[in-house]
Amino acid sequence: MPGHVFGRTTKGVLPVAARGEGCYIIDSSGKRYLDGSGGAAVSCLGHSDAGLRAALHAQLDALAFAHTGFFTSEPAESLADALAAHAPEGIERVYLVSGGSEAVEAAIKLARQYFLEIGQPQRHRVIARRQSYHGNTLGALAAGGNAWRRAQFAPLLVETSHIAPCYEYRDRQEDETQEAYGQRAADELEAEIRRLGPETVMAFIAEPVVGATAGAVPAVPGYLKRIRQICDRHGVLLILDEVMCGMGRTGHLFACEEDGVAPDMITIAKGLGAGYQPVGALLASGRIYGAIAAGSGFFQHGHTYMGHAMAAAAAGAVLDAILGRGLLARVREQGAKLDAALRAEFGQHPHVGDIRGRGLFRGIELVEDRAGKTPFDPARKLHAQIKKLAFEAGLICYPMGGTIDGQRGDHILLAPPFIIEDAQIDELVGKLSGAIRGALA
Ligand code: PMP
């Protein structure tokens, strides 16, 4: 009999997760599942990290919560200091929230308040990309690129328009260099800013490596640099949404480091709390913060649980673990092994069109035929079949449909814990291969 939990996750429908052990989740019947996607790129340290447990026990013994209307707390202060110290150039301030959507929502509001305070109230529009997910609250939903998700709740409060993503596998022409393609893709932003009128545009938001909606699609070299120049030319703020690809997932603490770009704001969540606590953060430049400090002096925003001491303690311990245990290098090393294993298994596969990603953030795209890159019939729901068969075989991965345009295309996203061992990479690829074989049979 189903329980009373509201939504998809209820007993009788899904297994009951009982315990975590390193890269595995164990259900109430004792079945073990290898976590090949960290849930959805969340569990970067695995499920029973001793350091995280100790940090959380210690914080719980000291203090769980003190309202930010009255107090700050040691874990919130030290987390913000550490994030600011390691953030790209210009990023100086940290606003702590409880998840990814809240971080994006805060970014949009901060952009708006910034322009109000500097006397450009007409700047209210956001530009994003068609292939993107930025969250499910109303502002974040408006920013996201999936037309179907947005349409159900339209009209949305934040006026957003969408340009093409940087999607090399499908959009780079054969005779075009990566660099030339990157410039061409970025120039779509300039065309859109001009179409809307630069004086009305406040921000461009993008994921440096597109996660859930596309399966770890990185921008080609030079793309984000060109985007940065275009934003600067028109006075538009650049927000990079690193909720999925940030916090070491790509082998760099912030994915945009690899692109050599410093945005005006960065959103992080998921891997920030590593699943031990719900937590997210908006990181903002000194310039933006400075304008608000010099103006009204107060960001007109706030949530009861922002800067929560337990959440901040967890995030602080995650950051310490990533930096202190050399996990960025490990992500690069194990990521290269995962990439090699995927290429060995699927490199010649007739229905795997593309293998892509960075660090331990990888995706494969499935096609009916490799030469024509034709997607499978969406009605077949190939991704859902693969998810089901993989799960039955004890593998958690993150397949999604709508890869190409929100309607067509199937991909599988992989984002295992940073502690994944070589043998577990083999187990992951072996089980995934079996599930794909079964789904195509
Ligand atoms: N931005 C990105 C890039 C995401 O992948 C997600 C979640 N999949 C979000 C924002 C929203 O995060 P949350 O689900 O924690 O609200």
Question: Using CA atoms, how far apart are residues 61 and 279, in angstroms rounded to an integer?
Answer: 20
Q: Say what the ipTM of the complex is.
A: 0.99
Report the pLDDT value the prediction gives residue 56, as an integer from 0 to 100. Answer: 98
Residue pair 346/355 in contact (Cβ under 8 Å)? The answer is yes
Same domain, 385 and 296: no
Residue 33 lies in a domain: yes
Same domain, 29 and 113: no
Residue 106 lies in a domain: yes
Residue 3 lies in a domain: no
For the Cβ of 275 lying below 6 angstroms from any atom of ligand 1, the answer is no
For the chain, how are helix, strand and coil distributed in percent, rounded to 5?
40, 20, 40
Q: Which ligand 1 atom is nearest residue 211's CA? A: 5
Question: Could you count the other beta carbons within 10 Å of the beta carbon of residue 23?
Answer: 26
Full domain range(s) for residue 352: 17-49+326-440
For the Cβ of 104 lying below 6 angstroms from any atom of ligand 1, the answer is yes
Q: Which amino acid is at 388?
A: K
Whether residue 411 has pLDDT greater than 90? yes
For the Cβ of 129 lying below 6 angstroms from any atom of ligand 1, the answer is no
Helical (H) or strand (E) element with 25: strand 24-27
Residue pair 279/245 in contact (Cβ under 8 Å)? The answer is no
For the Cβ of 281 lying below 6 angstroms from any atom of ligand 1, the answer is no
Whether residue 148 has pLDDT greater than 90? no
For the Cβ of 100 lying below 6 angstroms from any atom of ligand 1, the answer is yes
Residue 2 lies in a domain: no
Which pLDDT band holds residue 13 (cuts at 50, 70, 90)?
A: confident
Residue 4 lies in a domain: no
For the Cβ of 156 lying below 6 angstroms from any atom of ligand 1, the answer is no
Same domain, 310 and 420: no
Same domain, 92 and 180: yes
- E strand spans, 160-207: 160-163, 201-206
Whether residue 147 has pLDDT greater than 70? yes
Residue 264 lies in a domain: yes
Which pLDDT band holds residue 95 (cuts at 50, 70, 90)?
A: very high
Same domain, 154 and 274: yes
Residue 164 lies in a domain: yes
Residue nearest to atom 15 of ligand 1 (CA): 100
Of 294, 309, 324, which marks where a domain is finished?
324
> 182, 168, 172: which is closest to 131 by C-alpha?
168
Indicate which CATH number applies to the domain containing 393.
3.90.1150.10
Between vectors from CA 183 to CA 182 and to CA 184, what angle results, nearest 5°?
90
Same domain, 170 and 226: yes
Same domain, 106 and 65: yes
Write down the number of H helices and E strands in the chain: 15, 17
Summarised one tens digit per residue, pLDDT across range 278-294 is 999 999 999 999 999 99
User: 370 C-alpha vs ligand 1 centroid, how far in Å?
Assistant: 31
CA-based torsion, 231, 148, 358, 20: positive or negative: positive
Residue nearest to atom 9 of ligand 1 (CA): 135
Indicate which CATH number applies to the domain containing 165.
3.40.640.10
User: 267 C-alpha vs ligand 1 centroid, how far in Å?
Assistant: 9
For the Cβ of 212 lying below 6 angstroms from any atom of ligand 1, the answer is yes
Report the pLDDT value the prediction gives residue 1, as an integer from 0 to 100. Answer: 64
Helical (H) or strand (E) element with 257: helix 256-259
For the Cβ of 282 lying below 6 angstroms from any atom of ligand 1, the answer is no
Residue nearest to atom 1 of ligand 1 (CA): 134
Same domain, 343 and 287: no
Share of the chain above pLDDT 70, in %: 99
Whether residue 10 has pLDDT greater than 80? no
Q: Which residues partner with 127 through β-bridges?
A: 161, 204
Summarised one tens digit per residue, pLDDT across range 112-131 is 999 999 999 999 999 999 99
Q: Which amino acid is at 287?
A: R
Q: Which ligand 1 atom is nearest residue 207's CA? A: 3
Residue to mutate, 126, 134, 138, ligand 1, most ligand atoms under 8 Å from C-beta: 134
Same domain, 225 and 174: yes
Mean pLDDT in residue range 391-415:
97
For the Cβ of 114 lying below 6 angstroms from any atom of ligand 1, the answer is no
Of 299, 324, 349, which marks where a domain is finished?
324
For the Cβ of 346 lying below 6 angstroms from any atom of ligand 1, the answer is no
Summarised one tens digit per residue, pLDDT across range 195-250 is 999 999 999 999 999 999 999 999 999 999 999 999 999 999 999 999 999 999 99
Summarised one tens digit per residue, pLDDT across range 296-336 is 999 999 999 999 999 999 999 999 999 999 999 999 999 99
Report the pLDDT value the prediction gives residue 3, as an integer from 0 to 100. Answer: 78
Mean pLDDT in residue range 152-174:
96
Same domain, 305 and 351: no
The token pair at 397 is 């991965």
Residue to mutate, 96, 244, 247, ligand 1, most ligand atoms under 8 Å from C-beta: 244
- Cα–Cα distances in Å, from 64 out to 52, 90, 305, 323? 15, 32, 11, 25
Same domain, 334 and 280: no
Residue pair 66/306 in contact (Cβ under 8 Å)? The answer is no
Of 270, 304, 324, which marks where a domain is finished?
324
Question: Using CA atoms, how far apart are residues 342 and 360, in angstroms rounded to an integer?
Answer: 12
Summarised one tens digit per residue, pLDDT across range 255-279 is 999 999 999 999 999 999 999 999 9
Average pLDDT, the chain: 97
Residue 234 lies in a domain: yes
Count of structural domains within the chain: 2
Whether residue 52 has pLDDT greater than 90? yes
Question: Using CA atoms, how far apart are residues 206 and 104, in angstroms rounded to an integer?
Answer: 11
Summarised one tens digit per residue, pLDDT across range 376-386 is 999 999 999 99
User: 339 C-alpha vs ligand 1 centroid, how far in Å?
Assistant: 24
Q: How many CA atoms lie within 13 A of 14 on its CB side?
A: 11
For the Cβ of 428 lying below 6 angstroms from any atom of ligand 1, the answer is no
Question: Using CA atoms, how far apart are residues 192 and 94, in angstroms rounded to an integer?
Answer: 30
User: 177 C-alpha vs ligand 1 centroid, how far in Å?
Assistant: 32
Which pLDDT band holds residue 4 (cuts at 50, 70, 90)?
A: confident
Question: Using CA atoms, how far apart are residues 208 and 428, in angstroms rounded to an integer?
Answer: 25
Same domain, 226 and 312: yes
